[in-house]
C-alpha cells in the first residue's frame, strides 16, 4: 500500500498498563478510534509512541499486532531511525521482511550532531539496505542536528526515499514543496502548519492532534481540495488553540491525558516522561472545551 492518498497520518501513542508494560489489550480500541476519525496512515514507534523507551522486541511485537488489527485498511509506517547508522540499517533489513509494513520513518541522528554529508550518508545507507520505502524525519527541536533543504532534496533523488516529515518551519516546507520531485511527498510534522502545508501543495500532516481532532483536520483538507479556502481557514482558526494545548507540556502527555478522559484508555507514560498533573490536565481540557 502506498501513501499517495494518505494526507492525515497519525503518529500513534503507545498504550501502557499500570505496570508500564505495553498494553496490547488496549490497541483495538485505539486503532479503531483513529480509523473512525479519518486517520489515513499510522506511524508506530515514533516520538509520540515513546520510541526511546521501547525495546527492540517490544517494537516488533507492537508492529505485528497493529498490522493484524489494521488488516490493510491504511498504510503502516514504523520507526527505524537511531543515531547509529549500523543499527538503523540492520533494523530496516529486519522490518523489510515483515509483511504489512509499508514504510520506515528514519529520524535525523540525535546527540552526535553529524554535518550535512554525514546526514546524507546516514539516510542513503538506510535507504539502500532494503526495499522498504523510507520517510525522512527532520525535527531539529529534538535532535539539534537539522537537514538542510538542499540535503533533503539530494536525498529525494534516491529511489527508495519517498517522503519527508519536516519540522523545521514554513520556509523549509515551502522550498521543499516547490523544488522536490513531483512524486516526493512533503508532510509537515507540526499540527499548527497542517493548513499552510496543504494550501501550499504539500501532501498533508503527520500528526499528534489527529488523535483528537482527526475529523476536523479531514474536513479542513476536504475544504481546501474543493477550493473552499474561507471554510478551511475557519476550521484552522477554531482548532489551532486546541492543537497548541496538546503541546503545552512535553508530548505525548497531553494527548494521552485527553484520550484517557474521552474513554480511549492508553495509560500513562514511561520515564523520563511524566503524565500531566491534575492542574495541567484541567487546563488542557478547559481549552479543548471537554
Q: Which residues pair with 41 in a beta bridge?
A: 9
Q: How far apart are CA 184 and CA 177, in angstroms?
A: 9
78 φψ region: left (φ > 0), alpha (ψ -120 to 50), beta (else): beta
Q: How far apart are CA 288 and CA 244, in angstroms?
A: 10
Question: Is-catalytic flag, 137?
Answer: yes
A 10 A CB-CB count for 199 gives 15
- Helix, strand, coil distribution of the chain in percent, nearest 5: 50, 15, 40
Catalytic residue among 26, 165, 242, 256: 165
Q: Which residues pair with 10 in a beta bridge?
A: 42, 207
**Diameter of the chain by CA atoms?**
49
What are the Cα distances from residue 171, in Å, to 18, 113, 200? 43, 22, 11
Question: Is-catalytic flag, 165?
Answer: yes
Of 204, 197, 165, 232, which is closest to residue 4 (Cα–Cα)?
204
Catalytic residue among 137, 218, 242, 281: 137
Q: Which parts of the chain fold into alpha helices (H)? A: 27-36, 56-70, 85-95, 116-128, 140-143, 149-156, 170-179, 194-200, 210-225, 229-245, 253-261, 278-288
What are the Cα distances from residue 235, in Å, to 180, 202, 208, 238? 29, 18, 17, 5
The residues assigned a catalytic role are: 137, 165
Amino acid at each position: 500500500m502506498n501513501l499517495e492518498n494518505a494526507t492525515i497520518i497519525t503518529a500513534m501513542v503507545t498504550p501502557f498498563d499500570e505496570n508500564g508494560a505495553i498494553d496490547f489489550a488496549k490497541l483495538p480500541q485505539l486503532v479503531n478510534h483513529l480509523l473512525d476519525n479519518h486517520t489515513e496512515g499510522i506511524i508506530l514507534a515514533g516520538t509520540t509512541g515513546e520510541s526511546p523507551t521501547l525495546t527492540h522486541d517490544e517494537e516488533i511485537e507492537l508492529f505485528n499486532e497493529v498490522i493484524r488489527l489494521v488488516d490493510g485498511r491504511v498504510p503502516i509506517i514504523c520507526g527505524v531511525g537511531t543515531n547509529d547508522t549500523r543499527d538503523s540499517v540492520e533494523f530496516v533489513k529486519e522490518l523489510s521482511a515483515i509483511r504489512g509494513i509499508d514504510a520506515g520513518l528514519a529520524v535525523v541522528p540525535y546527540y552526535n550532531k553529524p554535518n550535512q554529508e554525514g546526514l546524507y550518508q546516514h539516510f542513503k545507507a538506510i535507504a539502500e539496505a532494503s526495499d522498504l520505502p523510507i520517510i525522512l524525519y527532520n525535527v531539529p527541536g529534538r535532535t539539534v542536528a537539522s537537514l538542510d533543504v538542499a540535503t533533503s532534496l539530494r536525498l529525494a533523488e534516491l529511489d527508495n526515499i519517498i517522503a519527508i516529515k519536516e519540522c523545521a518551519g514554513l520556509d523549509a516546507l515551502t522550498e521543499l514543496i516547490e523544488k522536490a520531485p513531483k512524486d516526493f511527498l512533503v508532510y509537515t510534522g507540526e499540527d499548527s502548519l497542517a493548513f499552510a502545508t496543504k494550501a501550499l501543495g504539500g501532501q498533508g500532516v503527520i500528526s499528534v492532534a489527529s488523535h483528537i481532532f482527526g475529523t476536523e483536520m479531514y474536513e479542513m483538507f476536504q475544504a481546501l481540495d474543493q477550493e473552499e479556502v474561507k471554510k478551511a481557514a475557519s476550521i484552522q482558526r477554531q482548532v489551532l488553540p486546541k492543537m497548541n494545548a496538546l503541546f503545552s507540556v512535553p508530548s505525548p502527555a497531553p494527548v494521552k491525558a485527553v484520550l484517557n478522559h474521552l474513554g480511549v484508555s492508553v495509560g500513562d507514560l514511561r520515564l523520563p516522561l511524566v503524565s500531566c498533573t491534575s492542574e495541567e490536565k484541567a487546563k488542557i481540557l478547559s481549552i479543548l472545551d471537554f
